[in-house]
Amino acid sequence: MDCIFCKIIEGEIPSYKLYEDDNVLAFLDITQGTKGHTLIIPKKHVRNVYELDEETTLNVFKVVPKIARALKDAFNPIGLNIINNNDKPLQSVFHFHIHLIPRYEDDGMTLNTINHYGEYNPEYFESLVKTIKEQIKSAK
């Protein structure tokens, strides 16, 4: 398969591996957005969150606190962001991955959210709930 992360898992492409078990690999992001920027991926090739099954999800997410604590203890960041991009506009590698991005004073990293607080009425919130709940399906 022509997937850069599958090639990293197979060792066909070198990487700086931090943690590995039967199902999961954690390694340094090549761009090092901040010191310690890490990616956690399932060994099973899954395009993104929409394709994740429950078992793979558990396997990947149970590793997240372990690596987060290691980064905290290693570099003493002031905080840490967990990011996951799915399709547009930001996903560039189509093998599910979680970014762990330790944060430091004046690190230049921008992850801004937009605040629409106060712009919507209760009916709007209720309509969102109704629309989304209709689409929540039982786990396969």
Of 37, 95, 97, 99, which is the active-site residue? 97
Distance (Å, rounded) from C-alpha 120 to C-alpha 124? Answer: 6
Residue 90 is a binding residue for ligand 5GP (CB under 6 A) = yes
Query: What are the angstrom distances between the C-alpha of 66 and each of 22, 69, 120?
Result: 16, 5, 39
Helix (H, G, I), strand (E, B) or coil at 123: helix
Kindly identify the residues of this chain, within the stretch 10-69, that bind ligand 5GP according to CB under 6 A. 13, 15, 27-31
Let me know: does 38 contact 74? Beta carbons within 8 Å.
Answer: no
37 is catalytic: no
Locate 31 and state its tokens.
């761009």
CB of 29 to Zn ion, least distance (A): 16
Residue 85 is a binding residue for ligand 5GP (CB under 6 A) = yes
Select 92 or 138, whichever has its Cβ closest to ligand 5GP.
92
Select 37 or 97, whichever has its Cβ closest to Zn ion.
97
Helix (H, G, I), strand (E, B) or coil at 103: strand
CB of 6 to Zn ion, least distance (A): 3
Contacting positions for ligand 5GP (CB under 6 A): 4, 13, 15, 27-31, 85, 90-93
